[in-house]
Structure 1
Amino acid sequence: MILTVTPNPALDRTWRVDRLTHGETHRTDAGAARAGGKGVNVARVAHSQGASVLAVSTVGGRTGVEFAADLGAGGVPNRLVPVAGATRQSVAIVDESRGDTTILNERGVNPADPEWAELLGEVVDALPGAQVLVISGSLPPGAPPTLLPLLIGTARDAGVPVIVDTSGPALLHAADAGASVVKPNAAELVEATGISDPVGGARSLTARGVELVLLSLGARGMLAVTASEVLHARLDAPLAGNPTGAGDAGVAACAVLYADGIRDPAMILTRATAWSAAAVLMPLAGEISDEWPALESRLIVTPYDPTAREERL
């Protein structure tokens, strides 16, 4: 079973416009709303591909009611901890003419210490049936700095590997606490490590004990960095679509393989890149296209060569 924790869930709202023009009024059809946050998206994708999952998160306020109803309607097994603060919202505006997306994320409200303790209790209860723990997404402002290390340490004590997708100082805390895999994007890696070279930044995390760094490069694919090798996977041609949730789909692929006992970086990189690409073809985060096997067959996977023009970041 894949156990996911979303410390800062969101009710994701998506609107599509013909063209987004700064400072102008826009007409749009009714938007879509669904339970989101990175860990929830990971659970959705893995569940859709037949994996056993359990999504643990918090829920509060009117948006929390809508969040819980949507997650239940989607059939994703979950345990939601009631909190006083309202579940935050995330707004994605898809520009149809450009094929890009503008995202507005509320920061979220930090749960009280007893609420965090209840969430940790749900994780502890679920760990005996888990093959991997995924902690994914931002932390709300004011979240205790011990939260990630405590979750990771609890899983490691239970013999469960941990995959973390977060940013800022929390990324370094996750590495120091013993995360097996981390998945930053290029900007997050520079922000956390202060190192502009992507391989150097990733290697600074493996030096802290991380087994595998999956580094998202957007349209340029993904890197898999270990202490001994660096691999690059990319499609033979870029895709147009909605990139929201593409990284979450990559984490889901990694989690599914980890739950099956697979640790080969090339296999993980290939599947993660294919699922990320397949997510771009879907209108909402938390979904991947059934065309992912065809996308996987189009991938070019090579040792990373920083001097090659097509691989420069």
Structure 2
Amino acid sequence: MRALTVTLNAALDVTYRVDALVPGDTHRVTEVAVRAGGKGVNVARMLCALGVPALATGLTGGAAGQVLREDLDRSGVPQAMFPIARETRRTVAVVTGSGEATLFAEPGPVVTPEEWSGFLRHYTELAATADVVVLSGSLPQGVPDDAYATLVRLAPVPVVLDADGRALSLGAAAGPAVITPNRGELTAASDVDDPLALGAAAALVSDGARGMTAHTAGGVWTAAPPEVVTGNPTGAGDAAVAALVAGWHLPWPRRLAEAVALSAAAVRAPLAGDFDRAFYDQHRADVTPRPVPED
């Protein structure tokens, strides 16, 4: 299984750790971490940790983009980022001693029509070498709202789409294999109860700490984490996507269980893109999906 992950709005992730976050106050940061980020980058990082070959691509530029690419190379995550003129954005996560995370996300660079056309050619070449494609995250300025729909149609292999807003609704209508919204994103994208009505073959819907529900043509299943987990939830959704890809050929109930377990393990890790392997190995068999009866 070879995965291509796409992060159009890649980011240089900065994590600050503080004792407590008090609006309007001065804070002394106890720890700083800087690493390559963005949802697809996080997925690629976790797939590599799971032993699944993955290649990360997307749009990067400027000094921040250079640092991002160097971090991936240093971390052993293969990358084929496409260069753009404007500066890659930064995201700042402020994590308190209790594990509560507050995220500040810059809007991202402006992508020119010429850069977008160049990336489409780049992407088409890379997708031809993959077994599955993952499209994740927000869209940078200048990229059309139907960007993910275009990438779904260009891919010769199954696509997992993790997006929100119009990028989700338009992308899902192009027929990806799986969409992975949380409950709020799904509600915002559609007024129908069945997420498959958006156009994807399957949907993995997250309800946060309550777990996830898999909607498929063969049935609907739900599963919850093996125990209450506290920590940094920033990369939990990316972990679920990584688990789906790593378990691509498993039956859906088992794929759901793996997604819930890896997502919980990611919450226990201090940085997005990592997971608590001991927790994952110990509890992955403890997640028991339950079928949801049809109405």
Bucket of the pairwise TM-score, normalised by the shorter protein: over 0.9
Residue in 1 that maps onto 2:167: 170
Residue in 1 that maps onto 2:136: 136
CA distance in 2, matches of 1:68, 1:170: 25
SS of 1:78 mapped into structure 2: coil
Tell whether the 8 Å contact from 1:2 to 1:256 is kept in structure 2 after alignment. Answer: no
1:139-162 CA distance string (max 9 Å, x none): 12342134212211111xx2x000
CA distance in 1, matches of 2:294, 2:227: 19
**Match for 2:236 among 215, 236, 246?**
246
The aligned length equals 293
Residue in 2 that maps onto 1:311: none
Tell whether the 8 Å contact from 1:79 to 1:122 is kept in structure 2 after alignment. Answer: no
TM-fit CA distance, 1:267:
1.6
**Match for 1:193 among 190, 194, 209?**
190
CA distance in 2, matches of 1:50, 1:263: 16
Tell whether the 8 Å contact from 1:277 to 1:295 is kept in structure 2 after alignment. Answer: no
Superposed CA RMSD in Å reads 1.7
User: TM-score when scaled to structure 1?
Assistant: 0.89
CA distance in 1, matches of 2:58, 2:107: 16
Code of the aligned partner of 1:223:
T
TM-fit CA distance, 1:306:
11
Between stretches 205-214 and 274-283, larger displacement belongs to 205-214
CA distance in 1, matches of 2:12, 2:294: 39
1:233-260 CA distance string (max 9 Å, x none): 11242101111111001101111222xx
Residue in 2 that maps onto 1:211: 201
CA distance in 2, matches of 1:108, 1:194: 29
Residue in 1 that maps onto 2:264: 277
Structure 1 segments unaligned to the other structure (5+ residues):
308-313
SS of 1:294 mapped into structure 2: helix
Residue in 1 that maps onto 2:24: 23
CA distance in 2, matches of 1:103, 1:146: 26
Identity of aligned residues (%): 42
Q: Alpha carbons of 1:304 and 1:17: their partners in 2 closer, same or farther (altered >3 Å)? A: farther
User: TM-score when scaled to structure 2?
Assistant: 0.94
CA distance in 1, matches of 2:191, 2:63: 39
TM-fit CA distance, 1:287:
1.0
CA distance in 1, matches of 2:132, 2:142: 27
* 1:269-308 alignment runs, 5 A limit: 269-291=256-278, 292-304=280-292
Code of the aligned partner of 2:191:
G
SS of 1:247 mapped into structure 2: helix
TM-fit CA distance, 1:264:
2.2
TM-fit CA distance, 1:194:
3.5
TM-fit CA distance, 1:211:
1.6
Residue in 1 that maps onto 2:123: 123
The answer to whether 1:59 aligns with 2:56 is no
Tell whether the 8 Å contact from 2:3 to 2:130 is kept in structure 1 after alignment. Answer: yes
The answer to whether 1:226 aligns with 2:216 is yes
TM-fit CA distance, 1:22:
1.5
TM-fit CA distance, 1:305:
7.0
CA distance in 1, matches of 2:231, 2:108: 27
